[in-house]
Amino acid sequence: MTGIDIDAALGSVVGGKTAADLEQAFGIRTVYDLLSHYPRRYVDPAGMSDLGTLTAGEHVTVLAEVLSSKAVYPKDQRRVPDKNQLTRRRTKGRAEIVIGDGSGRLSLVFFNQPWRADDCQPGHRGLFEGTVSRFGGRSQLTHPRFIMLPDDPASPDYAESMELFTDRLVPIYPATAKLPSWRISRTIKMLVKQLRDSDDVDQRFDSLPDEVREREGLMGLSAAWQAIHQPVDLAAAEEAKRRLRFDEAFTLQVLLAQRRERLRAVTATPRQRRDSGLLHAFDERAQFALTGAQERVGEEIFADLATGHPMHRLLQGDVGTGKTLVALRAMLAVVDAGAQAVLLAPTEVLAAQHFATLTSLLGPLAQAGMLGAGEDATSIRLVTGSLRSRERRDALAALVQGTAGIAVGTHALLEESVEFADLGLVVVDEQHRFGVEQRAVLARPLPDGTRPHVLVMTATPIPRTVAMTVFGDLDVSVLDEAPPGRKPIATHVVAPKEKPAYLARVWTRIVEEVAAGRKAYVVCPRIGDDDDDGDRGDRGDRGDVSLDQDGDSGHDGPAATTMSSVLDVVVDLRDRLLPDLRIGMLHGRMSSEAKEQVMGDFAADHSDPRALDVLVATTVIEVGVDVPQASVMVIMDADRFGISQLHQLRGRVGRGDAASLCLLVTSAEPGSPGRERLDAVAATTDGFELARVDLQARREGDVLGSMQSGRRSSLQLLQVLRDEDIVASARDIATEIVASDGDLRGHRPLRAAVARVLDQERTDYLEKG
């Protein structure tokens, strides 16, 4: 018989209220979406532990009743929040909960999450999972995973939830307080029954061709859904996951293979490198030698530019590997070929820095039309939103007339009023920081119907499998060699609550570095002045730090219960901690003129009366800022930032001749996720290794852009590091299928799967990203 329709709206199958709750909580809209809402783990009811038999180090799952719960706050906190006003943000304090099952008792503790006391009310039962430790002579679980069961034992919901424990394995789903796991499981059970009653699910909906499924040894789609939601054992669940992981990789690789096929039909004007001209003159006057990696990548780019199809190349390299120099040489080759090049930066600070760097590197070769200009000189123009009217008119005129060979700018270059005489190359720096539409505009067709060549740069190292998955339509070049003479950066975690004297040593070290003619950055996660939106780092697991030691220091500096802010830290450094040094600040709410002035003052020589010794800033300095005299980077509340962001910030020092230092100041508890991030950054300066650590700690969907598309991630099970073989195999098969059936007319279930998983908005993200 014919039964389930996986493309049906969920409300037509499970009821309006449940469907609305699922959409609000998880973006689930269709039967397919719900069937793809997979269990995060399974509990074996037969394997649950009695509380009276627990031993330290044992990983346990227990079914128990909450006996007591309370929120505990530190003595230095001025006001205990009203429980009705507690938010789910990390805050100082902890929840202490005691559970029991008749055979014994067990303590639960949640640091920096006092609201958990409200989640676990006395008299309610739940499942609790974690590793047993001993503290104060009692058994304890720290930050256990848990789900609470319905309140009333007489209610139908309670009976239905307890029925879960009659299964061989209990699936535990991603859930919310409003949508607990048992309720999601009850709804999915209904769909699984319909799957069993339908005899044509694979024929209608399985996107894998029979020969591929047989070659890879994979079960059918209906069987996989049944086995992952109601497995007879863990082996069956793993087989289902293997099939569904392949689906996720395969669908995405088919989309990317189609993109590559379409690119082959697009034309571009070849931009041949000349043996003499601006590039040759630049190489002749350069006072440094290219690294082997720079030469290799340069040749790859020049070969792409010489073809009749637009280059779409990702240039990735760790901090300090010389990406800007490689990009400049590509731009000069395009100018030599009679065209223009654009360097697009995500912020005005970075755009101004690139403009200054390119102008300095080119010297007289960037002064076309001026006395002393080189014979083959060109002109570079800066285009940002803050330009005065006359400056903007002059810059735009130079671009449309062709007298400017290179333009550097921000999103202001994307406006329709900006025209070029002959745009040949677009270089996008830190592409992940642009919106979808912004990234696409400069690659739109030119008046003659061709496309410009595109070079995408990132200083965020990307593991090979991620590049294969996210940037599968781009060729990838890697700068894996730093220029000779680059000094190493020593990185240390500073935990004032554990070793109070260490924070005082931080400020002493800055004084010593300044006395030696060097400079220092101090980075804060927020601007201050009650601003919670500007220039923020990622939230992490943490306790906040003040500039001295901890919340009991008694000084009048930034409150221990708030994040360090630029405005507060500047005052504290000027008034108390570094009164003899020249302190400046930089953040995103400052005007462009003020930012430019501050950066100029910080880069100025110490003998200059306007020079700054210390720059207190937000993450506006994260990428591109180049001050060789800077040798110390202090990051306050460092656990508020992600691994990649910390690595980028650290890269702002170590650019001169002196050995450099990065100090990560935190009060995050040892062993917490935030502290583990900092320990990882302190352990290595290898950006590719940190990228792997970062990817393992984050949801795959975040890495692959679901946050930018605003929809559910298409990758629920696939982990691109662990599943490298699956990704590679799926890529090969997808390429083969698309080569013979580009629009998938002979593979209708696969065509529907691509359209279903990646809606038009997400397709735009991948095509334009």
Q: What is the pLDDT of residues 662-709, one digit of tens each?
A: 999 998 888 888 898 999 999 998 887 887 777 766 644 444 443 333
Which residue type occupies 66? V
Q: What gap in Å lies between CA 285 and CA 573, rounded to an integer?
A: 43
**Count of all residues that appear for the chain in the document:** 769
Residue 534 has a CB neighbour count (10 Å cut-off) of 16
Whether the CB-CB separation of 411 and 438 falls below 8 Å is answered with yes
How far is the C-alpha of 737 from the C-alpha of 735, rounded, in Å? 6
Extended beta strands in 480-544, E state: 489-494, 519-523
Name the residue among 601, 557, 592 with its Cα closest to residue 575. 557
Mean pLDDT, 10 residues at a time, over the chain (769 residues)? 81 89 90 92 76 83 90 67 48 88 91 89 86 87 83 58 62 80 88 90 92 94 95 94 95 87 86 92 87 95 94 84 92 96 87 89 85 78 88 92 93 80 89 51 72 85 66 78 80 92 94 95 87 43 40 32 83 95 92 88 91 93 78 95 89 87 93 89 87 67 40 72 86 93 91 76 42
Q: How far apart are CA 67 and CA 121, in angstroms?
A: 8
CB atoms within 10 A of CB 579: 9
Would you list the DSSP string of 260-322?
A: HHHHHT------PPPSSSHHHHHHHH-SSPPPHHHHHHHHHHHHHHTSSS--EEEEEE-TTS-
What is the four-CA torsion angle of 434, 435, 436, 439, rounded to 10 degrees? -40
**Using CA atoms, how far apart are residues 509 and 28, in angstroms rounded to an integer?**
53
- Distance (Å) of CA 189 to CA 335, 583, 593: 64, 63, 62
In angstroms, how far apart are the furthest CA atoms of the chain?
92
Alpha-carbon distance values, 748 to 26, 202, 754, 761 (Å): 28, 12, 10, 21
453-458 vs 406-409, strand pairing mode: unpaired
Phi, psi of 748 (to 5 degrees): -60, -45
